[in-house]
Structure 1
Amino acid sequence: MKALTFHGPRDIRYSEVPDPQLQDDRAAIIEVTRVSICGSDLHIYHGEGFSEDLGFCVGHEAVGVVVEAGSAVDRHRAGDRVLIPASVGCTRCPECGEGRTSMCRTRSGALEKCYGLGSRLQGSQAQFVAVPDADRNLFTIPDELSDDAAVVLTDAASTAWYGARRARISPCESVTVIGLGPIGQLAAQHALLMGAAEVFGIDPVPERRQMAAAQGVRVVEAEDPVAQVREWTGGLGSHVAVEAVGADVTIETAQRIVRRTGRVSVVGVNQNKKYSFHMERAQVKELEFAIGLCSVQFELPTLIELTRTGRLKPEAVITHCIPLSEGAEAYELMDSRAEGVCKIVLDPRA
């Protein structure tokens, strides 16, 4: 089969790789119909990955059709249309039974809990993908959901919802979203859905600010976003900040931009083991600080229903659909943030 493989910093190739095989009777093989590039895939693209492996298949946001299921798989059969959560759990521990796959007792470390981080669990930017413990790691797609809507639910929309939920956004509160890429755009959408009185958005890319403004976000154009948000909130700062970038400077901005007793929720990926947390400021302001990795399986039932009923429009963040064969060019475009790019979807069948 054909797949996108990683061969070093900024070296993604459209390669011929072996077809995936069932590893045991709990696994399934999926023919991929849509797969997208996640902002966290750019960490791998830049050479900041979780593994030193080369030649592995990348990607962790995909939907498709079951072509083969092991004899112990109860919930899915060949021909079923399914989405593949980015997080990977088992079918045995109590945490995964609750959908909290990031806390899985069976799978140890990030390399076993997400597709496409290394050779241990090949990614889904491919024509086919092997899914372990399929009863836990596949969700049937309702007829009302398009593949484009479903592929955004596999990670980006779920992570955005997780971040907004952990921030405990309440009606009539003000929310600042830092980073208006796909997750930030969706976090803003979720905040409004949760009843936020006003959502402020911060991003250096004009097209992303325009996209956010079109859905009701008050975008910050000033050079000092903290001063601007304080001015808009009577000198107090916003009640909540959702950080969707993962850079040291944006996490710092999130802590500064909220008011006293404010809440900060970080969903951007930060790999800095020496990050300096400003403990005195957090204590004086009585900040609540939440950070973590989304268990997609826990969030999906809510998001599938919100999407099915039209309350949520995850596909709104998609700006480009590109054949998988042009995946290397798609990564370059995603990295450049040119052409107003937000979410790129790849089509393995094109």
Structure 2
Amino acid sequence: MKALTWHGKGDVRCEHVPDPTIEHARDCIIKVTACAICGSDVHLYDGIIPSMESGDVLGHETMGEVVEVGSGVSNLKVGDRVVVPFTISCGECFFCKRGYYSACERSNPDKAKATKLWGNSPAGLFGYSHLLGGYSGGQAEYLRVPYADVGPLKVPGGLTDEQALFLSDIFPTGYMAADFCNIQPGDTIAIWGCGPVGQMAIRSAYLLGAERVIAIDHVPERLELARQGGAMTLDFKEEDIYDRIMDLTQGRGADACIDAVGTEPDIGSGFDAVVDRIKVATFMGTDRPHVLRQAIMCCRNFGTVSIVGVYGGLLDKIPMGSAINRGLTFRMAQTPVQRYLPHLLRRIEEGEIDPSFVITHRASLEEGPELYKTFRDKQDGCIKVVMKP
């Protein structure tokens, strides 16, 4: 089959790889009908996620048609149309039983590596390094889905692939970011990053009752899409974000702040952002947490900082004194997608949101390598790429 494969920093190829096969009774195989390039994939493209191996198949936003099921899968049959969560979860362990599917204790065969780095292991993920299971991803013609009796969600016939695809990751992630904020009537939510997850967080914040959303970015088309979602926008290259948020909130700060950027922000406007970039370039640091620092400083006393942007290592110069003395709450996670799927599917079916609004580019797998670069460099108005193998 054809698939997008990783061969080093900035080197993604479309090439032929072996077709997946059933390896366990709880597996299924799907024929991929739609997949996407995620902002998290850019971290792989930029070579900052450890334990990638040449030839690894990429991708964790995938849906398609079931073409084979293992003997232990009774909830799916050949021909079912499903969307696949990026988190691989057994459904039976301590964490899965509590709804924390992204902390599954059984799905990461590379658990020892992850534990050495992080103190314990999260769930395995599709297409995201041999730190998180070494599973082949879904930017391919076919995908093996482990624990298929727990993960894939059947898609109703009335929804298009493009409406359902983002249930795999960015819609639940954006929704979780807003859900973490414990939004109350009248709340102002500030969101850093107007990429796909940020866009979903904007709309989710309003779905959950926010009165005002302030969205921060500098890419014109992303800011425009945020405005279309009802947000007030700030360009961090044109104005001081802290001063503007304080001005807009009568000096109090935002009720909650969402970091939807993570470890690879654009250069930013502060000296600390420049220092971050130098440290990472000279191997003196692993991550660039400029956005997180700013979110902490812009949050009101006893507010919430919600973190869904990806960080992988150690963060430097985080203003914990500010957070502790002002009573901030931090909430963060890899998204336990299965926890949110039924509820978010209903919202789509009832017309409350159509996640396909974020798509700007539609392509084939063969066009994928070039579109990785286009997406990473924010060229050609690219906000979200969907590929149809």
TM-score, scaled to structure 2: 0.87
Matched, 1:236 2:252: yes
* Aligned-pair CA distance for 1:94: 4.3
- The superposition leaves residues 167-210 of structure 1 with CA deviations (integer Å, 9 ceiling, x where unpaired) of 21222100001000000000000001111110000001111001
Aligned residues: 348
Aligned-pair CA distance for 1:39: 0.3
Identity across matched positions, percent: 36
Deviation at 1:54, TM superposition (A): 1.2
Kindly provide the CA deviation profile for residues 51-97 of structure 1, in whole angstroms up to 9, marking residues without a partner as x: 14111100000010000001110110000000000000014324324
Which residue number corresponds to residue 208 of structure 1?
222
Q: TM-score, normalised by structure 1?
A: 0.96
In structure 2, C-alpha distance between the alignment counterparts of 1:259 and 1:122, rounded to whole Å: 42
Residues of 2 paired with 1:275 and 1:140: CA distance? 43
Task: Give the aligned partner of residue 328 of structure 1.
Answer: 369
* Matched position secondary structure for 1:63: strand
Structure 1 residue 271, shift from structure 2 partner? 1.8
User: Cα offset for 1:98?
Assistant: 4.6
1:199 aligns with 2:249: no
Out of 188, 194, 219, which is 1:174 matched to?
Answer: 188
Match of 1:131 in 2: 145
The one-letter amino acid of 2:252's match is: L
Distance 1:233 1:112, change over 3 A: closer
Q: What is the match of residue 356 of structure 2?
A: 315
Report SS of the residue matched to 2:150.
helix
Match of 1:163, as an amino acid? A
Letter in 1 for 2:128: L
Q: Which one of 140, 150, 165 corresponds to residue 179 of structure 2?
A: 165
Read off the aligned partner of 2:337 and give its amino acid letter.
V
SS of the equivalent of 2:368 reads helix
**Residue 289 of structure 2 is aligned to residue 278 of structure 1:** no
RMSD, aligned α-carbons = 1.4
Over residues 77-132 of structure 1, what are the superposed CA-to-partner deviations in whole Å (9 max), with x where a residue is unaligned? Answer: 00000000000001432432454211212124469611002362101000000001
Aligned residue number for residue 331 of structure 2 = 290
Contact preservation (8 Å) 1:50, 1:117: no
**Cross-structure match for 1:115:** 126
Structure-2 separation of matches of 1:213 and 1:179? 13
Number of the residue aligned with 1:24: 24
State the AA in 2 paired with 1:145.
L
The residue type paired with residue 35 of structure 1 is C
Q: CA deviation at 1:137?
A: 1.5
Contact between 1:112 and 1:121, CA under 8 Å: does it hold in 2?
no
Contact kept in structure 1, 2:26 and 2:149, CA below 8 Å = yes
1:75 match: 75
For structure 2, the residue ranges without an aligned partner over 5 or more in a row are 115-121, 264-288
Counterpart of 1:284 in structure 2: which amino acid?
A: N
Contact 1:267 1:291 in 2 (8 A): yes
User: What SS is found at the alignment partner of 1:220?
Assistant: strand
Structure 1 unaligned blocks of 5 or more: none
Secondary structure, counterpart of 1:304 in structure 2: helix
Contact 2:102 2:123 in 1 (8 A): no
